[in-house]
Structure 1
Amino acid sequence: MTPSRTSGAGGSRPLPGAWSVGLHRGAIELRQFFRQRDQLVFTFAFPVVLLALFASVFGDEVKGTGVTAAQLYVAAMIAAGVMSTSFQSLGVSIAVERDEKVLRRLRGTPMPPTAYFLGKLWLVLVTGVLETVLLLLVGATLFDLDLPTTADRWLTFGWVFVLGLTGCALLGIAISSVPRSGRSATSVVVLPFLVLQFISGVYISVDTLPDWMLDVGALFPLKWMCQGFRGVFLPGSAAVLERTGGWEYGRIALVLGAWCAGGLLLCLLTFRWRSRRDS
């Protein structure tokens, strides 16, 4: 049965659904995010600063590819920016909200639990899009990154972005249950994210990484997002840098799709509304 509540005229009307409440939660999450200026500046400026540093230091053309190292970094940093605004952001913020008993209070309201996660996903989607647009502007204007001119490349960009963002967001929700307190959340979440950036081709070109590192990195979505975005923004000649000499779009879709399904399962199995100290 649909739950109802008494209106002011003495009748009844159905409670708002999870989708409409989720939109409202998303608006609240966005307002809170944009009001925290230090977090706002750090979130959007950090990948841009790293991009500028690495691209300036390693700006020479990569032999046999027709692209510069700076262009490789732009594509990889877009993937890292997507994971930062999803995996890292949710992993830390949800752990803090759990520790401060925000989740417990929300769980005690009539709000559908799904609406809370929809609100977080709206936050991740908006910030992820803004982060990506900013990095594309910097890459195109400062480092000669060629933006796609065909619909099929933009379509590829779209599904890599959506699948990558969704998988990383679900993984961030799942890892939020690992920290024992809000204070330790940053350390617990940032460390694996930092390691993944090194073994997934963000800071170091994949053709220079040891095979065992590539094998470990291939288990996680960041490596495949990096590869997918390189395929979108770089010419086909740059594919020689990849381990198999190709972009492997089919495998990218398979791995990212598997992380969406696996991340959802992890969330269902591990998510807690109360901190361990309240259990």
Structure 2
Amino acid sequence: MTTTVVRPRTTPSAARLPGAWGLGLRRGVLEIRQFFRQRDHVVFTFAFPVVFLFLFASIFSDDVPDAGITASQLYVPAMMAAGIMSTSFQSLGVTIAIERDEKVLRRLRGTPMPPAAYFLGKIWLVLVTGLLETVILLAVGTGLYDIQLPSDAERWFHFAWIFLLGLTACALLGIAVSSVPKSGKSASSVVVLPFLVLQFISGVYIAIDTIPDWMLNIGALFPLKWMCQGLRGVFLPESARILEQTGSWEFGRIALVLGAWCVGGLLLCLLTFRWKDRRDG
């Protein structure tokens, strides 16, 4: 007597369930749509560094001795670096803290969605907004302040890895720092203060050659200073190297520091990230 084994049928839909990468892409599309639906937030996000660039470039517009550039040209790459950090570190640090406080993270954690998909969605969001912010500032810099686009592939290569490493490091730090605020209401104050201080000691608002060395050394512990320096090396002439602390662009060192912050930021995320508010245990 033969026994017929009946095997469960696998439906086509079950066989094609999206993985973390596919869900992360869909989550990213949702995050981007939600971002652009908040028109006031969009305007503020993209206009803030442009307005500050216009103000500082208008106030400090004299030529920089021996550097072959104007002070306004010096601000363009610095504001680009600050824009990248704003759309990643500041944006994620505040929004994730608010989502945690409003129990959004707790509800998402209770769904079948892989946790990685949530973070991939956030990375897609900061990638799109960071790229748009950079393009806008670069358009303003080339149109109003005589910034010259690189004419060789090497400098564009430097720009690509500085942008990607810097954005990744700042995004990971933003995810990690989102666990610091005790509530969504205090998130802006907790996140914006260190970012504002870093902008002053990293060469964003103040010319790098006028900042005391001890402040630069503190700023050198964080990604923003190296992003500013790297983007200056991409978009400013070689004569401007004399303004740097070591008289060199130090692309190799910039890559090491930003790469180290990518690894360190990931470790901080793994150690500190919480899906629930502290009051929920």
Mark the CA change 1:155 to 1:58 in structure 2 (over 3 Å): closer, same or farther. Answer: same
RMSD: 1.4
- What amino acid is aligned across from residue 195 of structure 2 in structure 1? F
- What amino acid is aligned across from residue 186 of structure 2 in structure 1? S
Aligned to 1:18: 20
Query: 1:211 deviation in Å?
Result: 1.4
Among 34, 48, 52, the residue aligned to 2:54: 52
Aligned to 2:5: none
Instruction: Name the count of aligned residue pairs.
Output: 274
Work out whether 1:160 is the aligned partner of 2:170. Answer: no
The 8 Å contact of residues 7 and 13 in structure 1, kept in 2 or not, is answered as no
Q: Deviations over 1:57-85 (max 9, x none)?
A: 10111000110011110010000000000
Cα distance in structure 2, aligned partners of 1:252 and 1:177: 28
Cα distance in structure 1, aligned partners of 2:141 and 2:261: 28
Aligned to 2:36: 34
What are the ranges of 5 or more consecutive residues in structure 2 without an aligned counterpart? 1-7
Among 234, 237, 256, the residue aligned to 1:235: 237
Aligned to 1:216: 218
Cα distance in structure 1, aligned partners of 2:24 and 2:124: 8
- SS for the counterpart of 1:161 is helix
Higher Cα Rg, which structure: 2
Among 199, 202, 209, the residue aligned to 1:200: 202
Cα distance in structure 2, aligned partners of 1:195 and 1:7: 61
Aligned to 1:3: none
Among 249, 259, 262, the residue aligned to 2:264: 262
- What amino acid is aligned across from residue 159 of structure 1 in structure 2? W
Question: Deviating runs (4+, > 6 A) in structure 1?
Answer: none
Mark the CA change 1:8 to 1:174 in structure 2 (over 3 Å): closer, same or farther. Answer: same
Work out whether 1:86 is the aligned partner of 2:97. Answer: no
The 8 Å contact of residues 18 and 112 in structure 1, kept in 2 or not, is answered as yes
Q: Deviations over 1:188-221 (max 9, x none)?
A: 0000000000000000011111111011000000
Query: 1:164 deviation in Å?
Result: 0.3
Query: 1:13 deviation in Å?
Result: 2.5
* Structure 2 counterparts to residues 159-198 of structure 1, below 5 A: 159-198=161-200
Aligned to 1:68: 70
Query: 1:12 deviation in Å?
Result: 3.9
- SS for the counterpart of 2:154 is helix
Query: 1:265 deviation in Å?
Result: 0.2
Mark the CA change 1:130 to 1:243 in structure 2 (over 3 Å): closer, same or farther. Answer: same
Query: 1:14 deviation in Å?
Result: 5.2
- SS for the counterpart of 1:105 is helix
Work out whether 1:277 is the aligned partner of 2:279. Answer: yes
Query: 1:47 deviation in Å?
Result: 0.3
Mark the CA change 1:49 to 1:15 in structure 2 (over 3 Å): closer, same or farther. Answer: same
Query: 1:112 deviation in Å?
Result: 0.3
The TM-score, its normalising length taken from structure 2, stands at 0.95
- What amino acid is aligned across from residue 128 of structure 1 in structure 2? G
The 8 Å contact of residues 221 and 259 in structure 1, kept in 2 or not, is answered as yes
Query: 1:15 deviation in Å?
Result: 3.1
The TM-score, its normalising length taken from structure 1, stands at 0.96
Q: Deviations over 1:14-61 (max 9, x none)?
A: 532000000000000000000000100000000000000000110111
Among 237, 241, 248, the residue aligned to 2:250: 248
What are the ranges of 5 or more consecutive residues in structure 1 without an aligned counterpart? 1-5
Mark the CA change 1:70 to 1:15 in structure 2 (over 3 Å): closer, same or farther. Answer: same
Aligned to 2:144: 142
Cα distance in structure 2, aligned partners of 1:127 and 1:118: 14
Aligned to 1:151: 153
- SS for the counterpart of 2:15 is strand
The 8 Å contact of residues 167 and 221 in structure 1, kept in 2 or not, is answered as yes
